[in-house]
Structure 1
Amino acid sequence: MSAVLDAPPEVEQRTRGRGTGLFRAFWRWHFYASFLVIPILFVLATTGLIYLFRFQLEPLLHADLMKVQQPPGLVAQPYDTQLQEVRAAFPDATVVSMTEPSAPNRSTVFSVETKSGNRDVFVDPYEGKVLGSLNPDRTVSGVAILLHGELMAGRFGDAVIEIAACWAIVMALTGYYLFIRGRVARARRRAAGAAGAVLRSRHGRTGAVLGLGLLFLVVSGLPWTGFWGAKTQELATSHGTSFWGEDPGALSNPTSTLDESLPHSHAVPWALGKTEVPRSDPANRTESVATVDTAIEVGRRNGLRSPMTVALPSDTKGVFSAIGYAFNNPAQERTLHVDHYGGRVVSTYGYKDYPALAKVVSQGIALHEGRRLGLFNFWLTTVFCLGVVFMCVTGPMMWWRRRPKGKALGAPRGRLPLRTTPGLAVLVVALALFLPLFGATLVAVLLLDQLVLRRIPRLGAWFNVARRHAV
């Protein structure tokens, strides 16, 4: 992802008047892609940083709820006892799930659905008392997640992010071309002590390092998107695979899925997001009725890692779904469905059962979130986010320095020679077909250029449109 929103005078002089050179054409597309991409990338990078540090940040902001002290000699209360306290404190709410404390000094967390929305309820595991509750979508990290996923604007925000992600690919590819082709001119300007030369070089070098990472994050984030992700999932399903796992032992109502059962816990493995939940048989009521403690014990006996999350049955036919902790290793993702009566394991489903595509997506998501390779992945992603913020700041700074003083945008003038460069034409068409929203917005831009900007002289001058017909 190079970064030249401006170019060296040497390059500009060599290409002035020709307008058909790839350098100027790529510079122009890099320039306009940046206008769309930079604001979105800045939001994604900053919210991504907040999400990365959520386990450090939220306990500091809500220590009264999330942190507890273990009294000497006192053991934790049974989870079922804690569950009853939550139900007493929220009599009109439905308790959806429970997550074990992540450390001896942390609270037990229950996710509940109330008439006013979803809340996370925190319980002191030793004294068994309710400490309070939070709206998970209104915490700092909760807001960051919503901004990161859809700009808090629903489907419209999701579409904007997807379009920006598509054009980020264009910005990265054109940036690499500019970085390589413009290296000599940048070196000359640096040696001559030209204004802005150091900033331009730092921007370009940082972009060259970040570009591959940006491409990976864009591609690994596409499965989340509402259009590309949904359509590609449909295509994958029609060919016998899937982005996520579908439990072959599931016998439940098709509308009862894990992601609906745990809407705000963020504890469901990605590949299990659409897994149907098996059902208990009320005919076995004569047997002992299982509790959340039963599900935890069954999970431990079957090798699930703690802290486990348990989705509670919503009715007499429901099951306890015990989800093992697999934060830093998707290959350890595993869920046990425990019968409401007798505590038998109705079915089990995990990473080894995922379709091949779901395994790839799970690993990609873990890398995307900075959790797959431990601290190395965490700090690498942190540095990457900071680098993206740097790029989002220095790019506009370079444009601001070189912008014309008159009433013009200062866009580079250049045309893509698609007719004389078949390989480039094939690449553009391939990107448009692979990324439909990119293709649609590309057509819109070209129509705007041909039908409006070239027909209105003042607009054409402001956008610095080439006079001859071109792409």
Structure 2
Amino acid sequence: MSAVQSPPDQVAGPATRGRGSGLFRAFWRWHFYASFLVIPVLLVLATTGLIYLFRFQLEPVLHADLMKVDHQAGLVAQPYSAQLDAVRRALPDATVVSMTEPPGPDRSTVFSVDTAAGPRDVFVDPYEGTVLGSLNPDTTLSGGAILLHGELMAGRAGDFVIEVAACWAIVMALTGYYLFVRGRVARARRRAAGAAGAVLRSRHGRTGAILGVGLLFLIVSGLPWTGFWGAKTQEFATSHGTSFWGADPGALSKPTSTLDESLPHSHTVPWGLGKTEVPRSNPEDGRRSVATIDTAVEVGRRNGLQRPMTVALPGDSEGVYSAIGYAFNDPGKERTLHVDQYGGRVVSTYGYADYPVLAKVVAQGIALHEGRRLGTLNFWLTTVFCLAVVFMCVSGPLMWWRRRPKTKALGAPRGRLPLRATPALAVLVVALALFLPLFGITLVAVLLLDQFVLRRVGALRAWFNVAR
């Protein structure tokens, strides 16, 4: 429940006595201040999440000349190896990394390549075998949305800001539920009296009451992506014999060669297989029969991989073709086959069934997070959720603006958390700080700032309405 709420007119005065009112005002104050960090980040995440959610509808419209082709009955697609040759002729200095099959009869084949100028997605007419053009996948609308959603286009610093905001969003959700329940009588009274802003405030609370559960789920399911919590928790999981990702035992691999490193721009690697080591081919095995990209596709088809497949090409004489069946709606069906580039045999097979239990849970959570696990229902529920987040991010500041104090003050609710008098609350805060270390660190920073700066500088104490 993300919102900036303004206090009622009497908040600027002495805090109301009593344990209940003390908790209410304290929670209101934390809800208020957390919103300054959370709202901008949530607004970006909700907006970019919507763009990413509708990427399959938006990108073909924005780049129809590259992504769409004329298809007439009777036309037969060229072999993928012939399309690959066309890409190599058009971009002789580029390294072709992977190929993704057309998602429909009127769509182009996509080859991901690395060039001196950076990554490109090259689009090929599968019937004519001609190169239609290329795009930098990270500069498209959905590509930019992905970078903003993951790290605010600011690298590790952006990832840090998002993770801190996610931690405080949990605080906002929990305090918001308390405010919603304890403040229901006051809200009803204000609506009955026709008070200004009463309707908006009620809608904000009701929307947040429904939204809060989904927000908590999205935060928790998104934490494995984060650079601090995700990385540290993965280290802990690995040390205890499990993992967020699958670990393909395959053939001999280079320690740094993983699928998400091989396909950093494709966005088609299943979450659970992202850290999978890539097996190797044996140049001495079956040199008489050299496999091609079409061999890998056919092997994947015969083994029931989900379509459209993405095939990662061998990087050297010992590399393999990795045929990736990215089961969009059901992570339980995702599977990858590593195909020897000489004999065409399957070096190894690895998929959801082989994941550790934790990786299975995370894979399912990511699919729900991205609005694809339950098909159309998941898609539209996620759409409504993102729109509701935008509403909350707009309605909260609007409520504060309408009821901001006329005096030179921020208009924050006054209250202090009665941790000593409420042991259960103290335990909850400590547990949350231990579970989310970045929340704990920033919480300590805020408390120190409050204790040694805001309370000791008169002007700041009045501006922030600090209770003594």
Structure 2-normalised TM-score? 0.98
Inter-partner Cα distance in structure 2 for 1:420 and 1:287: 80
- Paired residue for 2:373? 372
Residue 410 of structure 1 aligns to a residue whose secondary structure is: coil
Q: Does 1:381 align with 2:353?
A: no
- Paired residue for 1:34? 35
Report if the CA contact (8 A) 2:12-2:414 is conserved.
no
- Paired residue for 1:5? 5
- Paired residue for 2:212? 211
Q: Does 1:197 align with 2:211?
A: no
Report if the CA contact (8 A) 1:150-1:161 is conserved.
yes
Residue 431 of structure 1 aligns to a residue whose secondary structure is: helix
Report if the CA contact (8 A) 2:6-2:411 is conserved.
no
What is the identity percentage for the equivalent residue pairs of Structure 1 and Structure 2? 82
Report if the CA contact (8 A) 1:95-1:312 is conserved.
yes
- Paired residue for 1:293? 294
Distance 1:14 1:449, change over 3 A: closer
Question: Which letter maps to 1:247?
Answer: D
After superposition, give the CA deviation of every residue in 1:171-217 in whole Å (9 maximum; x if it has no partner).
00000000000000000000000000000000000000000000000
Report if the CA contact (8 A) 2:269-2:326 is conserved.
no
Distance 1:72 1:4, change over 3 A: closer
Distance 1:191 1:15, change over 3 A: farther
Instruction: Report the CA distance between 1:284 and its aligned residue.
Output: 2.2
Residue 119 of structure 1 aligns to a residue whose secondary structure is: strand
Instruction: Report the CA distance between 1:72 and its aligned residue.
Output: 4.1
Residue 112 of structure 1 aligns to a residue whose secondary structure is: strand
Question: Which letter maps to 2:16?
Answer: R
Question: Which letter maps to 2:438?
Answer: L
Inter-partner Cα distance in structure 2 for 1:276 and 1:240: 17
- Paired residue for 1:187? 188
Instruction: Report the CA distance between 1:11 and its aligned residue.
Output: 8.7
After superposition, give the CA deviation of every residue in 1:40-69 in whole Å (9 maximum; x if it has no partner).
000000000000000000000000000001
Instruction: Report the CA distance between 1:455 and its aligned residue.
Output: 1.2
Inter-partner Cα distance in structure 2 for 1:41 and 1:230: 22
Instruction: Report the CA distance between 1:7 and its aligned residue.
Output: 4.4
Report if the CA contact (8 A) 2:7-2:411 is conserved.
no
Instruction: Report the CA distance between 1:218 and its aligned residue.
Output: 0.3
Inter-partner Cα distance in structure 2 for 1:12 and 1:236: 48
Report if the CA contact (8 A) 1:326-1:333 is conserved.
yes
After superposition, give the CA deviation of every residue in 1:313-343 in whole Å (9 maximum; x if it has no partner).
0001000000013001000010000001110
- Paired residue for 2:412? 411
Q: Map 1:342-381; keep pairs closer than 5 Å.
A: 342-381=343-382
Report if the CA contact (8 A) 1:2-1:176 is conserved.
no
- Paired residue for 2:226? 225
Question: Which letter maps to 1:107?
Answer: S
Report if the CA contact (8 A) 1:4-1:179 is conserved.
no
After superposition, give the CA deviation of every residue in 1:420-449 in whole Å (9 maximum; x if it has no partner).
100000000000000000000000000100
Instruction: Report the CA distance between 1:13 and its aligned residue.
Output: 8.6
Report if the CA contact (8 A) 1:4-1:203 is conserved.
no
- Structure 1, 341-350 or 1-10: larger mean CA deviation: 1-10
Inter-partner Cα distance in structure 2 for 1:185 and 1:400: 20
- Paired residue for 1:172? 173
- Paired residue for 1:155? 156
Inter-partner Cα distance in structure 2 for 1:250 and 1:403: 65
Distance 1:13 1:447, change over 3 A: closer
Inter-partner Cα distance in structure 2 for 1:207 and 1:11: 23
Inter-partner Cα distance in structure 1 for 2:8 and 2:452: 31
Inter-partner Cα distance in structure 1 for 2:287 and 2:196: 83
Instruction: Report the CA distance between 1:248 and its aligned residue.
Output: 1.5
Inter-partner Cα distance in structure 2 for 1:7 and 1:465: 13
Inter-partner Cα distance in structure 2 for 1:390 and 1:71: 45
Aligned-residue RMSD, C-alpha: 1.5
Residue 121 of structure 2 aligns to a residue whose secondary structure is: strand
Residue 133 of structure 1 aligns to a residue whose secondary structure is: strand
Question: Which letter maps to 1:232?
Answer: T
Residue 77 of structure 1 aligns to a residue whose secondary structure is: coil
Residue 120 of structure 1 aligns to a residue whose secondary structure is: strand
Q: Does 1:446 align with 2:447?
A: yes
After superposition, give the CA deviation of every residue in 1:220-261 in whole Å (9 maximum; x if it has no partner).
000000000000000000000000000012421111110011
Report if the CA contact (8 A) 2:3-2:39 is conserved.
no
- Paired residue for 1:57? 58
- Paired residue for 1:115? 116
Instruction: Report the CA distance between 1:3 and its aligned residue.
Output: 4.9
Instruction: Report the CA distance between 1:8 and its aligned residue.
Output: 4.9
Residue 209 of structure 2 aligns to a residue whose secondary structure is: helix
Report if the CA contact (8 A) 1:69-1:105 is conserved.
yes
Question: Which letter maps to 1:365?
Answer: I
Inter-partner Cα distance in structure 1 for 2:333 and 2:148: 29
After superposition, give the CA deviation of every residue in 1:96-132 in whole Å (9 maximum; x if it has no partner).
0000000000000000000111010000000000000
Instruction: Report the CA distance between 1:285 and its aligned residue.
Output: 5.2
Residue 98 of structure 1 aligns to a residue whose secondary structure is: strand
Q: How many residues align?
A: 467
- Paired residue for 1:464? 465
Question: Which letter maps to 1:86?
Answer: V
Instruction: Report the CA distance between 1:306 and its aligned residue.
Output: 1.1
Residue 221 of structure 2 aligns to a residue whose secondary structure is: helix
Instruction: Report the CA distance between 1:14 and its aligned residue.
Output: 10
Report if the CA contact (8 A) 1:119-1:136 is conserved.
yes
- Paired residue for 1:283? 284
Question: Which letter maps to 2:393?
Answer: C
Residue 284 of structure 1 aligns to a residue whose secondary structure is: coil
Question: Which letter maps to 2:391?
Answer: F
Report if the CA contact (8 A) 1:8-1:186 is conserved.
no
After superposition, give the CA deviation of every residue in 1:155-184 in whole Å (9 maximum; x if it has no partner).
000000000000000000000000000000
List gaps (5 residues or longer) in structure 2. Answer: none
